[in-house]
Amino acid sequence: MLKTELILSGLQATMFNDATSEFDVLVASDAIGMGLNLNISRIIFSTLKKFDGIEERDLTVPEIKQIAGRAGRFGSKFPDGEVTCMNVKDLPLLHSSLKSPSPVLERAGLFPTFDLLFMHSRFHPTKSLYQMLVSHFFKQMCNCSASVQGYLEWFMKDCLDRITNSVILTTDLGYEHFVDNAKLSSNYFIADCEEMLKVAAIVDELPLGLHDKYLFVISPVDMNNDISSQGLIQFAQTYAKKGIVRLREIFTPGTLQVPKSHSALKELESIYQVLDLYVWLSFRLEDSFLDRELALSQRAICSMLIEGFLERGGWRQPMASSVPSRISSTSLLSQSNKQDL
């Protein structure tokens, strides 16, 4: 009998490399391609399509190569790897993708660091984090001729010079000076920040410092998922109000059990994301997010329950009409109905 482990989204696969774990098969989403070095001899694609949040599409050549490349890693137990598909109709795309040259990356994405935002905020104290991101970075840094490295060097030096010399700028003057110099070369673009802007708009309404706001903005959260987004909002609100965020005061999962439908699976995946967010925040705000061990244990339970669903054959594709596009959060996270885990 084969023993199976799971990788789904951010779930860990360390046990698959453990020689004593006795796992034979790894069931994974495309997260398997995200830099994991595992002892895999053969990759079998169940499909060469994915839903990217907007539409269902074919995997790109780099995605197929990245996932297929997990088999036969240098230095692993299996130096040579094999790749195939469950559906024979997918084989032509697989073969052509593996033979195709990888496209050359012509541009790289950039996102402002906290230090850059902090320096900028010194001269625009009336601007919210959202306004800084939208007005000063993501609109003005797209018209481009100067090298981004040159710009960053100028910007940091200019800020430091002004601080050292105690020069006070009006908001308008600082903005005009910034716009005149904030340029990107054609080698760079501002990274997609839609999720971050949604979070910025939320945390700007809370009495938090810029660094705390920035942490929430860059945190791993899917703002298109009701449960995930409500989890972040409640974490941020409680942190701003109390300074301490106890998991038992916020998280109300109800009775966790092996899901019996794909909609229940998606709900459980959302619970996992909220717990993962809590763990992420606990490593950066450890004096405030105190229940890391509890979150880790509950996250492990979610992982086992998801594995249980897949072991029963629940991985098979459902009818499109049976899976909701958004997951309601009312049964899981609530400010008025709180209970212990």
- Residue that is written with structure tokens 């090298």 in the block: 147
22: nearest Cα among 7, 1, 8: 1
Q: Do domains 10-99 and 219-314 have the same CATH topology?
A: no
User: What is the domain partition of the chain in residue ranges?
Assistant: 10-99, 107-163+179-192, 219-314
- Helix (H) or strand (E) run with residue 166 in it: none
At 120-160, the pLDDT tens digits run 778 778 878 877 776 655 554 444 334 444 544 444 454 44
CATH code that applies to domain 10-99: 3.40.50.300
The CATH code for residues 219-314 is: 1.20.58.1080
Mean pLDDT over the full length of the chain: 74
Residue whose pair of structure tokens reads 């779930």 in the numeric block = 11
In the prediction, which pLDDT does 255 show?
58
Alpha helices in the chain (DSSP H): 61-68, 91-99, 114-122, 129-131, 148-164, 171-181, 194-203, 210-217, 226-242, 247-250, 262-284, 292-309
- Pick from 32-36, 103-107, 237-241: least confident: 32-36
d(CA 219, CA 243): 18
The residue ranking higher by pLDDT, 241 or 320, is: 241
